[in-house]
Amino acid sequence: MKESGSAPILSRDRARSLRASATVAEGRLWQHLRNRRLKGAKFRRQYPVGRYIVDFFCVEARLVVELDGGGHDSEEQRRSDAVRDRYLANRGYRVLRFWNNEVVDNVDGVLERIADFL
């Protein structure tokens, strides 16, 4: 796959598709992160970073925020997430993971943890 700019073309298309089909939790968190609403930090949503598309990305803070649903509770998915987190960490990014239900039930607590990192 040939790269154009900072992201492969297919990754951009996939990211666009993911943005269009956001989960309830992603939509709720995005309402608080968009337009520099959290501590003035610029977040991008469903953004290609290397070979992955991350849920939320703050370039300035080198921060990736991932939201996980029930499918991430399997052993296989936990291993896959660990590989992904190591890949991102090796490139200088910090990954914060939250369960979807954490965002739905306690968005203020999630925002506080993100703000603490920022």
What does pTM read for this prediction?
Answer: 0.79
pLDDT in tens, 47-88: 989 889 899 999 999 999 999 886 656 678 789 899 999 999
Domain containing residue 24: CATH number: 3.40.960.10
Average model confidence (pLDDT) for the chain?
84
Domain extent at residue 46: 3-117
Nearest to 29 by CA among 60, 59, 55, 2: 55
pLDDT of residue 5 exceeding 70:
no
Instruction: Say how far residue 113 (Cα) sits from the centre of its chain.
Output: 14
**69, amino acid identity:** G
How many domains, the chain?
Answer: 1
Tokens of 69: 């649903």
